[in-house]
Chains A and B, each alone.
Chain A
Amino acid sequence: MILFFLVLWLVPGAFLAWLAGRVRPDLSRWISLFFLAVQTIVLVVLWVENSGVAGPAPQGRWWLEASQPWIPQLGAAFHFGLDGLSLVLCLLTSLLGIFSVAASWKGIQERVGFFHFNVLWVLAALTGIFLALDLLLFYFFWELILIPLYLLIGIWGHENRSYAALKFFIFTQAGGLFLLLATVGLYLVHGNGTGVYTFDYMQLLGTAMPLQTAFWLMLGFALAFAVKLPVVPIHTWLPDAHAEAPTAGSVILAGLVLKAGAYGFLRFLIPLFPGPAHTIAPVAMALGVVGILYGALLAFAQTDLKRMIAYTSVSHMGFVLLGAFAGNAFALQGAVIIILSHGLSTGALFIMAGGLQDRLHTRNLSKMGGLWSVMPKMGGFGLFFALASLGLPGLGNFVGELLVLLGTYQVSVVAAVFATLGFIAAMVYSLWMVQRVFTGNYAGDGKVTDLDSREFVLFAVQALALIILGLYPQPVLDTVRPALANIQSDASVSFRQPASAQSSAIVLAPRDSIDTASIPFGTEGRP
């Protein structure tokens, strides 16, 4: 039941915030914060309860599982499950939710109630994505995030918002329709083969089908996830959407929506279609490397601060794709760490860009410069997050990217070498950004104010989280490792079988044939 609570809790909050906005704008901000705080606390309690710190760790694949009938005629159910991977992503969702509400405290002054309605709505749907274990239900939430995001960009966005909102919606919805097509296809293949028509994730795992069918179905999933992640060359919606969205929208897009794509690859595509996923792994890894370098290159060329940050996301998400398809324990764990640390660092950078825009009324890098002299606190944090983004050892991104590179090296030396170039590029664009914004001569009229206490606390919390993630990632890794090991075994059990293997053989293969305990992880992250 607690899982239903997690998904539904924010819904009444959204309506309350909307109503409260009609009375007093600030009230709806506080209501949103309250609901998100409760959600965060519940998630933290769940984490402590189940991570083995307090009491024995849960034995099964899922820490918690809940199911209620939805459309019994189709075999679809409200089926939710929580494991380590879901938990850290849900936690990221509610944390970034708090950050985006806090970051919009001053920036959003119009239609405040409706704004928070949309923010909470998108967060609830994202939580649903990370918990759904029924493919139709997953699609349900997958599409549900589009509307509030569309409205967030379209109503509260910047100059070119209509275009950006529309482009975002059409790209992701078109990808989503292919996801629906492939989902229904998988459902029918499974039903025709076994007589059991169901959308249930656990039952669809290991569906026996001809390699060619599996390949086409996989492509439908891949397209939807690749649009969201995004994978070059279908990333073009991202810079527009990120740049035009209000600060909260950018934070949610970069911090969470892209992660939904990554989650889709990890949770659904690779375990459901292990054979084809293995087949396209070289292509996917190549696209990942291309994304790393191309994103970095374009980031370097931007003059719009938010567009620049958006392109760095393309680059970082390249690492996630690389890690997901490299497929070994190092790479998968690294991908998850990148997901978390990128969510925090890029979220912080977008909040900073929003803060700068509120003060200077421009996002144009060439009109900035010398800001350190007038707002040293902002400068300090800016440098910190830029360093985090470029992968400074001791901060979260470094751990993740190093792990991905380690994992990739075992699979493909060439990919690892080229991906490493991404580090250099990241250093160049990050430091260049700091230079252009904060150093040099200040040309303004000197009336800009430095961070207020709200912003200071906001940045400090994110910086602290990044430091913890960088210095002591072990608890997070311990949390996600069993979940990733399950994904890995789903994927690798089938690798050893020919494509025509019996589904029963796959399903019945003992999970402990992969010794999860022996997956090596040293002490790289420890000081």
Chain B
Amino acid sequence: MMPADFTALLPYLILTGAAVAVLLAITIVRNHRLTAGLTMAGLVLAFAALPIALSAAPRAVTPLVEVDGFTIFFDGLLIAAAFAAAGFSYGYLQRRRIRREEFYLLLLTATLGACILPASVHFASLFLSLELLTVSLYGMIAYLRTELFGIEAAIKYLILASISSAFLLFGAALIYTDRGTLSLSRILLPESAAAGALHPVLMVAGLGMVLVGIGFKLAVVPFHMWIPDIYQGAPAPVSAFLATVSKGAVFAVLIRVFSLYTISSESGMYAVLVVIAAVSMFAGNWLALLQTNIKRLLAYSSIAHFGYLLVALLAAGPNSVTAAALYLAAYFVAILAAFGVIAAVSGSGGEAQELEDYRGLFWRRSWAAFVLTSAMLSLIGIPLTAGFIGKAYLLLAGLGSAVWLLAVVLIVTSAIGLYYYLRVILTMAQQPAAENRPAQPAVLDSRLGNIVLGALALGILWLGVFPAPVIEIIQRTASSVLPF
């Protein structure tokens, strides 16, 4: 390997080093603060190494990994999200009487796996990094061993994620049989078809199975059944991690695949994806309408949001990658803030999951309520928040390529979605009802958590009012994959 290869891989090396350092630190002294500090320092260092890696980009390190602007942008997004999740975890775990330190180890390995995903240009690296992410997540979801919901969620996730991995693996194997290559950039090219187009049936089956595998990870309809239970059962910081790092990384893979090929709008694949996008938007919003559990509500809404994101990809126009990256960034900030508030207002007894727990939050804890409100408004796409710019860009990408049907579905389902987001805000603004529920025990504010929440709220507003610099960054980095 050349020195430049190491430069390109520097963020990954730092993440690995941080994981080892945390492991060693735990063996020497068990100290929650130290472990969390090491973890967050590692994440900050990895983030700081991204510009250095960018100087070496674009660079293909072995046939497995391609470090280019696109990779760097998504790595930055994922590392930042992991940092926020770690910040929430500190206060959250501090309130619980368990061994806390190993959690950060899992978080670092999961982040490492997620970060390599956008760089994967080969089924081998794709599968390995995905498994690294998923296996770490099993542990994270079940981390609170005393809580039954967490265990249940972890087992569900274990089974469903294994099945989806199996689908992915089998699909890759079928494609390999047909094409003789596992490189993502070559499997669909006509020349490799000429070399060994023996079984078009194998190819179609293989692609279909890969689609199922990816669909499960993204939780788009009809592969969405698992998501509410997992979001609900997992500890709130882990739900935040799942919603952002895990799904975002897989979506980055999807963007990369889409950027490699032009999918004809007459092909069957395209039709399937259009249906998936439309039904996801509709079902996600529809199912979220009647939820009274805020984590389930966010889970269902995330189905819809990934439907919106698919619109950008299916538009396949000059603005698609920018729109998808911007929307994803906006979604990250908002959903992290939402789960961050859930983590922050949850006492040591149990999580504040029911909407009723949030009644009157405005008057009890104005700060948390303000952050949650701005997160909800951003998810709706109200001006002044990041979501507005994201949604405007999505529409621009969609209409620019004249995918009218999807654009109209996006509009109509967004209008449906208003109801449940607003309900959260209004519940927070209402007077606390006569106490028929035991009041949540007073929760000590975690200073770290509050700082992260403040940064996220600021991010929501800043992206919403002055998005130009971020769009600039996206266009300089993420759009490097752009043969759309």
Which A residues contact B (CB, under 8 angstroms)? 69-74, 111, 114, 136, 139-141, 143-144, 146-147, 150-151, 154-155, 162, 165-166, 169-170, 173-174, 177-178, 180-181, 184-185, 187-188
Q: Which of A69, A155, A174, A185 contacts B468 (CB 8 A)?
A: A69
- Cα(A77)–Cα(B382), bound, Å: 18
Q: A70-B466, A150-B425 are in contact. List 9 more A-B contacts (CB 8 A).
A: A73-B471, A147-B382, A155-B430, A165-B422, A166-B422, A170-B418, A178-B411, A180-B392, A188-B400
* A–B pairs, 25, beta carbons within 8 Å: A69-B468, A71-B389, A71-B467, A74-B392, A111-B363, A136-B392, A140-B384, A143-B388, A144-B384, A147-B377, A147-B382, A150-B425, A154-B429, A154-B430, A155-B429, A162-B426, A165-B422, A165-B426, A170-B415, A177-B414, A178-B411, A181-B395, A181-B399, A185-B399, A188-B396
B366 to chain A, nearest CB (A): 9
Contacts of A73 in B (CB 8 A): 468, 471-472, 475
- Cα(A154)–Cα(B360), bound, Å: 13
B35 to chain A, nearest CB (A): 39
- Cα(A70)–Cα(B423), bound, Å: 32
A176 to chain B, nearest CB (A): 9
- Cα(A527)–Cα(B382), bound, Å: 49
B294 to chain A, nearest CB (A): 17
From A174, which residue of chain B is reached at the shortest CB distance? B415
A124 to chain B, nearest CB (A): 11
- Cα(A180)–Cα(B399), bound, Å: 11
B401 to chain A, nearest CB (A): 10
* 4 smallest beta-carbon distances between A and B, as pairs: A174-B415, A140-B383, A177-B411, A143-B383
A439 to chain B, nearest CB (A): 39
Query: Given A71-B467, A184-B396, do A150 and B422 touch, yes or no (CB 8 Å)?
Result: yes
- In the complex, B407 has a CB within 8 A of chain A: yes
- Cα(A273)–Cα(B99), bound, Å: 66
B301 to chain A, nearest CB (A): 16
Asked whether, in the complex, the Cβ of A144 is within 8 Å of the Cβ of B411, the reply is no
- Cα(A178)–Cα(B395), bound, Å: 11
Q: Which of B362, B388, B399, B408 contacts A184 (CB 8 A)?
A: B399
Asked whether, in the complex, the Cβ of A173 is within 8 Å of the Cβ of B415, the reply is yes
Q: Which of A143, A151, A166, A188 contacts B382 (CB 8 A)?
A: A143
Contacts of A178 in B (CB 8 A): 411
Question: B residues 149-198 with Cβ under 8 Å of A?
Answer: none
Question: B residues 463-481 with Cβ under 8 Å of A?
Answer: 466-468, 471-472, 475
Contacts of B396 in A (CB 8 A): 74, 184, 187-188
Q: Which of B383, B418, B472 contacts A141 (CB 8 A)?
A: B383
Contacts of B466 in A (CB 8 A): 70
Asked whether, in the complex, the Cβ of B407 is within 8 Å of the Cβ of A181, the reply is yes
Q: Which of A72, A74, A143, A151 contacts B429 (CB 8 A)?
A: A151
A122 to chain B, nearest CB (A): 13
- In the complex, B462 has a CB within 8 A of chain A: no
- Cα(A188)–Cα(B402), bound, Å: 10
Contacts of B391 in A (CB 8 A): 180
Which B residues contact A (CB, under 8 angstroms)? 362-363, 377, 380, 382-384, 388-389, 391-393, 395-396, 399-400, 407-408, 411, 414-415, 418-419, 422-423, 425-426, 429-430, 466-468, 471-472, 475
Asked whether, in the complex, the Cβ of B418 is within 8 Å of the Cβ of A173, the reply is yes
- Cα(A181)–Cα(B400), bound, Å: 11
B472 to chain A, nearest CB (A): 7
Contacts of A146 in B (CB 8 A): 382
B297 to chain A, nearest CB (A): 16
Asked whether, in the complex, the Cβ of A180 is within 8 Å of the Cβ of B468, the reply is no
Contacts of B415 in A (CB 8 A): 170, 173-174, 177
Asked whether, in the complex, the Cβ of B418 is within 8 Å of the Cβ of A169, the reply is yes
- Cα(A144)–Cα(B465), bound, Å: 12
Q: Which of A139, A151, A154, A165 contacts B383 (CB 8 A)?
A: A139
Contacts of A177 in B (CB 8 A): 411, 414-415
A140 to chain B, nearest CB (A): 4
- Cα(A138)–Cα(B63), bound, Å: 49
- Cα(A177)–Cα(B422), bound, Å: 16
Contacts of A174 in B (CB 8 A): 415, 418
A197 to chain B, nearest CB (A): 9
B229 to chain A, nearest CB (A): 28
B308 to chain A, nearest CB (A): 13
Q: Which of A144, A151, A170, A180 contacts B419 (CB 8 A)?
A: A170
Contacts of A188 in B (CB 8 A): 396, 399-400
Asked whether, in the complex, the Cβ of B414 is within 8 Å of the Cβ of A140, the reply is no
- Cα(A174)–Cα(B407), bound, Å: 14
- Cα(A375)–Cα(B328), bound, Å: 61
Contacts of A72 in B (CB 8 A): 468
- Cα(A353)–Cα(B411), bound, Å: 38
Asked whether, in the complex, the Cβ of B383 is within 8 Å of the Cβ of A144, the reply is yes
Query: Given A73-B468, A166-B426, do A184 and B383 touch, yes or no (CB 8 Å)?
Result: no
Contacts of B383 in A (CB 8 A): 139-141, 143-144
Contacts of A169 in B (CB 8 A): 418, 422
A147 to chain B, nearest CB (A): 6
Contacts of A147 in B (CB 8 A): 377, 382
Contacts of A139 in B (CB 8 A): 383
- Cα(A180)–Cα(B400), bound, Å: 14
Contacts of A136 in B (CB 8 A): 392
Contacts of A162 in B (CB 8 A): 426, 430
From A69, which residue of chain B is reached at the shortest CB distance? B468
B479 to chain A, nearest CB (A): 11
Q: Which of B399, B419, B429, B471 contacts A166 (CB 8 A)?
A: B419
From B394, which residue of chain A is reached at the shortest CB distance? A184
Query: Given A143-B388, A165-B426, A174-B415, do A71 and B395 touch, yes or no (CB 8 Å)?
Result: no
- Cα(A304)–Cα(B425), bound, Å: 29
- Cα(A375)–Cα(B310), bound, Å: 64
- Cα(A151)–Cα(B467), bound, Å: 26
From A121, which residue of chain B is reached at the shortest CB distance? B384
Contacts of A184 in B (CB 8 A): 392, 395-396, 399
Contacts of B407 in A (CB 8 A): 181
A40 to chain B, nearest CB (A): 25
Contacts of B392 in A (CB 8 A): 74, 136, 180, 184
User: Which interface residue of B383, B400, B429 has the most chain A CB atoms within 10 A?
Assistant: B383
B274 to chain A, nearest CB (A): 18
A151 to chain B, nearest CB (A): 6
A7 to chain B, nearest CB (A): 13
- Cα(A181)–Cα(B391), bound, Å: 10
- Cα(A70)–Cα(B422), bound, Å: 28
Contacts of B419 in A (CB 8 A): 166, 170
Contacts of A140 in B (CB 8 A): 383-384, 388
From B411, which residue of chain A is reached at the shortest CB distance? A177
Contacts of B377 in A (CB 8 A): 147
- Cα(A181)–Cα(B412), bound, Å: 11
Asked whether, in the complex, the Cβ of A70 is within 8 Å of the Cβ of B395, the reply is no
Contacts of A143 in B (CB 8 A): 382-383, 388
Contacts of B408 in A (CB 8 A): 181
A288 to chain B, nearest CB (A): 26
- Cα(A185)–Cα(B401), bound, Å: 11
Query: Given A146-B382, A188-B399, do A154 and B475 touch, yes or no (CB 8 Å)?
Result: no
B372 to chain A, nearest CB (A): 14
Contacts of B380 in A (CB 8 A): 173
From B400, which residue of chain A is reached at the shortest CB distance? A188
- Cα(A170)–Cα(B429), bound, Å: 18
Contacts of A154 in B (CB 8 A): 426, 429-430
Contacts of A69 in B (CB 8 A): 468
B470 to chain A, nearest CB (A): 10
Contacts of A181 in B (CB 8 A): 395, 399, 407-408, 411
B168 to chain A, nearest CB (A): 36
A76 to chain B, nearest CB (A): 9
Contacts of B471 in A (CB 8 A): 71, 73
From B395, which residue of chain A is reached at the shortest CB distance? A184
Contacts of A114 in B (CB 8 A): 362
- Cα(A136)–Cα(B472), bound, Å: 19
